[in-house]
Copies of this chain bind each other. A is one copy, B any other.
């Protein structure tokens, strides 16, 4: 079992490694990957040791092999399905973003209250009425929920997702969700990102990566 920080870094390394592979890079040193990931080289080596990729001091890590090793840890042998609730602009953007991107991880059902959206297909994903949330999630055995409803509905939707068997939630609503300790919640906080950028846009960049 890895910590949520380790899993986050491994996912980040993989994204950076995909970028290197696309540009034709075959080998990478821990300090190079550390520079891209804003981590220390020691941290990168520790993380990659954990996935069983030792690398060689001379050439560094084999980029393709590393992508595969991280995949063994992050991906499931079978496809993992997610349920998205709330097909507003953000929900549609997320459906478009993940459509066909990760074959092992797909959004298998979407839900909305708007009758104009129900029974339509958005970026390859069918929209069900929110009354059928529990039924559809149980039938498809979905364990992941993506919450893109307004703040005032988010907690109620989270409760229903958890009751239906969901064990991990990506929360885009701007409020904290209260769930039992066996459910993992990742809060995507767009305000936090913008506030960080605003701060550094008006200060000198020196020493800011400490």
Could you list which residues of chain A lie within 8 angstroms of chain B, going by C-beta atoms?
1-5, 7-8, 11-12, 15-16, 19, 36, 38, 73-74, 76, 80, 82, 88-90, 92-94, 96-98, 101-102, 105, 143-144, 146, 166-170, 174-176, 181-186, 188-210
Contact = CB atoms under 8 A, between A and B. Distances in A.
19 contacts: A2-B208, A3-B208, A4-B38, A4-B200, A5-B210, A7-B199, A11-B189, A12-B189, A15-B176, A15-B189, A36-B176, A89-B96, A105-B194, A144-B194, A170-B190, A184-B197, A184-B201, A185-B197, A188-B193
A182 B170 CA distance: 32
A26 B25 CA distance: 54
A93 B89 contact: yes
Given A93-B89, A175-B19, A197 B203 contact: no
Specify how many copies of this chain sit in the oligomer. 2
Given A16-B176, A19-B175, A89-B90, A7 B196 contact: yes
A192 B83 CA distance: 17
Nearest to A87: B89
Given A82-B194, A191-B101, A1 B167 contact: no
Given A1-B208, A82-B194, A93-B93, A7 B200 contact: yes
